[in-house]
Structure 1
Amino acid sequence: MPYIQDSKYDISIPFWHKNAHFSTIYAAKVKRFSSPNYIREKLELQDGDFLNIDYKIQNNDKAVILCHGLEGNSQRTYINSCSDYFLKQDFSVFAWNNRSCGGEMNRLPRLYHHGTIEDLDEVIQFALTKDIQEIYLIGFSMGGAQVMNYLGRIPEIDSRIKAGVAVSVPVEVKASADSLKKGFNQVYMKNFVNDLTRKLKEKSQQFPELMDWNKIKNINNFDYLDDNFTAPIHGFEDRNDYYFKVSPARSMEKIKKPVLVLNALDDPFLGEGCFPIQLATNHSFIHLETPKYGGHCAYPVKNSIYSYAEIRALEFFKSL
């Protein structure tokens, strides 16, 4: 499918947002967007854990399921903005929280990661119980990886799932982890590490015999955190095994639903392997758009309260 190198976003971007860090920080820390008037429901999972889902049904014909990024939740600005935009377009919206996200710690030792497709499937099945006829998936960063992994790894996908959009997605997770070690990008990594460390400390109280929690005090980067906690908690050999297996690069070729991958070339979270131009060009279902600008999950648009991500997502869905 098309490799869209000349993105329309590069024409509409405000000049002061041509700095990737400015765009990324503005979107994450400065921009504000209130959440819709959701219903929150606790979805009990088959393994005894739960997920909190915020949703608003106004049209049973079509709905979007929104997947947040690492250490995000259903109330983040980029989720609220996307939700509001699609609600105004007469879609129903389901914004879900990964385990431990959304203000409530989950019950089991496991947390979540880029390949958490079983939980996404539970959310999809929940939406289908509400008699939704068409479902569209939108994921941001790690959530984009979950969308792509779901569409590439679930053998039989319900015909009511029509398409997906993955925004600022780490197609190769190791490349993303490596990018966050460089220069100013370490500020983002430190924030993630601090948040995850707090959760691990809480897990150590829940499950004191599970592992050697004393190692928590040595966490100062993703390498150590993923080797000693993320990988063993979720059944991987080490961080490299984890990075390799949860990367959408392993599942992309098997995707058989239309997917738009929107990855800015200046995204400070992305590295080599996150712009699969050759694969997308020769793939029947993957559309790759690589704007020159956009930052990470930012894409501000001049004279608009919405971002290019949700505007482009709707345009993509309507084109199918």
Structure 2
Amino acid sequence: MPYIKESKYDKSIPFLHKNAHFSTIYAAKVKNFSAPKYKREKLELSDGDFLNVDYKMQSKIKAVILCHGLEGNSQRTYINSCADYFLRQDFSVFAWNNRSCGGEMNRLPRLYHHATIDDLDQIVQFAFNKNIQEVYLIGFSMGGAQVLNYFGRINDIDKRVKAGVAISVPVEVKASAESLKKGFNQVYMKNFVIDLTKKLKVKSEQFPELMNWKNIKNIKDFDYLDDNFTAPMHGFIDKNDYYFKVSPARSMEKINKPVLVINSLDDPFLGEGCFPVKLAEKNSFFHLETPKYGGHCAYPMKNSVYSYAEIRAFDFFKSL
């Protein structure tokens, strides 16, 4: 304890969703959940860039900040259902878009990655500026890595930041990249590569002298993309340096506020190192739940429009 091996989710999963790919694709492509009626605000950053923040004020006391996954945005289905659930629990909701996400390209060369915690902290401050008294963080996939890195790498986190939940999170980013090379998982990788390549083409027009953009035509997988573009664009030596340094595994031992990770054992995006049982057994602040089923950012429930992820996240926050 607090390693939670026997998850309540495994007793409530619909039969068809015991197939990880079915569950993952259903949640991403089939399930429909409308976004709340947000207000959108452009948050100007000190470096000259901006972040688009969608938010709805429900309470001046408590708010949840929702962090989307790789090439996601503030209005993905998993974000929408989580937002709706927490609004019904009388939380305000702040769903933010990483740079270049949410339908508008950012101004600077930099995009985003698993350890973009300076931008996340700007969203936290944005919530405080709305007079929110208690902030809770929830991240999905890459957004979960941002949450874990936030709690592990920022010293003296504001006492008003109470806890976090990370769902389907690549604790070791290299292991996740390797998993996406295997079998059917390559379908997910190719979709990511297509989307990211489109953004790099836009960056090549914005900043033609920045790097050798001709290599865009050679992008076939994460290895080439991250070695030739992601790493140098964000100040890393190469893809291995990037994967190592942005992984939450480098910082999680320093977590000293309550955090829950929910990583299903059948998640096609996760690999070795993404289930840090030993850390959970020795750090009382770090909780790990490993359902047998759940897919990636899925966790559908019987007779419920909500997923286990947001229900479990609320229960975790309520228990503190």
Q: Which residue of 2 aligns with 1:102?
A: 102
Find the residue that maps to 1:22 and give its secondary structure.
helix
Q: Which residue of 2 aligns with 1:59?
A: 59
Alignment of 1:260-279 (within 5 A): 260-279=260-279
Q: Which residue of 2 aligns with 1:136?
A: 136
- The residue type paired with residue 149 of structure 2 is N
Cα distance in 2 between the residues matched to 1:10 and 1:104: 39
Cα distance in 1 between the residues matched to 2:68 and 2:156: 24
Find the residue that maps to 1:165 and give its secondary structure.
strand
> How far apart are residue 308 of structure 1 and its match?
0.2
Find the residue that maps to 1:17 and give its secondary structure.
helix
- List per-residue Cα deviations over 1:269-317 (Å, max 9, x = no partner): 0000000001111112000000000000000000000000000000000
Q: Would the aligned equivalents of 2:174 and 2:240 in 1 still touch at CA under 8 Å?
A: yes
Comparing 276-285 and 207-216, the one that deviates more: 276-285
Cα distance in 1 between the residues matched to 2:75 and 2:40: 12
- List per-residue Cα deviations over 1:162-185 (Å, max 9, x = no partner): 000000000000000000000000
Alignment of 1:62-77 (within 5 A): 62-77=62-77
- The residue type paired with residue 100 of structure 1 is S
Cα distance in 1 between the residues matched to 2:154 and 2:248: 13
- The residue type paired with residue 265 of structure 2 is L
TM-score (structure 2 length as normaliser): 1.00
> How far apart are residue 237 of structure 1 and its match?
0.3
Q: Which residue of 2 aligns with 1:259?
A: 259
- The residue type paired with residue 214 of structure 1 is K
Is residue 116 from structure 1 mapped to residue 116 from structure 2 by the alignment?
Answer: yes
Q: Which residue of 1 aligns with 2:306?
A: 306
Is residue 200 from structure 1 mapped to residue 200 from structure 2 by the alignment?
Answer: yes
Find the residue that maps to 1:164 and give its secondary structure.
strand
> How far apart are residue 2 of structure 1 and its match?
1.2
TM-score (structure 1 length as normaliser): 1.00
Cα distance in 2 between the residues matched to 1:253 and 1:70: 24
Cα distance in 2 between the residues matched to 1:229 and 1:248: 21
- The residue type paired with residue 17 of structure 1 is H
- The residue type paired with residue 43 of structure 2 is L
Structure 1 outlier segments of 4+, above 3 Å: none
Q: How many residues align?
A: 320
Cα distance in 2 between the residues matched to 1:269 and 1:136: 25
Cα distance in 2 between the residues matched to 1:114 and 1:309: 20
Cα distance in 2 between the residues matched to 1:162 and 1:267: 28
Q: Percent identity of the aligned residues? A: 82
Cα distance in 2 between the residues matched to 1:112 and 1:245: 14
Q: Would the aligned equivalents of 2:171 and 2:273 in 1 still touch at CA under 8 Å?
A: yes
- The residue type paired with residue 154 of structure 2 is I
- The residue type paired with residue 9 of structure 1 is Y
Unaligned runs of 5+ in 2: none
- The residue type paired with residue 152 of structure 1 is G
Cα distance in 1 between the residues matched to 2:47 and 2:232: 18
Is residue 18 from structure 1 mapped to residue 18 from structure 2 by the alignment?
Answer: yes
Q: Would the aligned equivalents of 2:2 and 2:284 in 1 still touch at CA under 8 Å?
A: no
Cα distance in 2 between the residues matched to 1:286 and 1:24: 26
- List per-residue Cα deviations over 1:38-71 (Å, max 9, x = no partner): 0000000010000000000110110000000000
Unaligned runs of 5+ in 1: none
- List per-residue Cα deviations over 1:1-48 (Å, max 9, x = no partner): 411110000000001100000000000000000000000000000100
Find the residue that maps to 1:183 and give its secondary structure.
coil
